[in-house]
Amino acid sequence: MLDASRATVELLIQHRTSDLSIKEMAAHAGISERTFYRYFPRKEDVVRPFFQSGLRRIVTNFNARPEYESILDSLRAVWSDAWPVQDAEASRLLFHILESQDSYRAVRLQVVIDSELLWAEAIARRLGIDAHSRQAMFAGAAVVTAFRMAWQAFSLDRSLDPIETLMANVDIFKEILLAPA
Partner DNA sequence: CACGAACTGGCAGTTTCTGCCATATTGCAT
Partner DNA sequence: ATGCAATATGGCAGAAACTGCCAGTTCGTG
Q: 43 is in the binding site of which of its own copies, DNA, none (Cβ under 5 to 8 A by kind)?
A: DNA
Region near its own copies per CB under 8 A, out of 21-29, 56-64, 76-84, 108-116: 108-116
Site for DNA in 25-54 (CB under 7 A): 31-35, 37-39, 41-43
Nearest to DNA of 24, 171 (CB atom):
24
Distance CA 12, CA 7 (A): 9
Distance CA 64, CA 162 (A): 22
Residue 81: count other Cβ atoms within 10 Å of its Cβ.
9
Phi, psi of 17 (to 5 degrees): -155, 160
Please tell me the number of Cα atoms within 13 Å of 129 on its side-chain side.
20
Site for its own copies in 139-158 (CB under 8 A): 141, 145, 149
**Residue pair 56/48 in contact by the 8 Å Cβ criterion:** no
Q: How far is CA 24 from the centre of its chain?
A: 25
Residue type, position 17, single letter = T
Q: What is the nearest approach in angstroms of DNA to the Cβ of residue 4?
A: 8
Is residue 100 a contact residue for DNA (CB under 7 A)? Answer: no
Q: What is the nearest approach in angstroms of DNA to the Cβ of residue 108?
A: 16
Is residue 15 a contact residue for DNA (CB under 7 A)? Answer: no
**DSSP code string of 163-178:** HHHHHHHHHHTHHHHH
Which residues sit at the interface with its own copies, rule CB under 8 A?
A: 41-42, 45, 102-103, 105-107, 109-110, 113, 134-135, 137-138, 141, 145, 149, 168-169, 172-173, 175-176
Which residues sit at the interface with DNA, rule CB under 7 A?
A: 20-23, 31-35, 37-39, 41-43
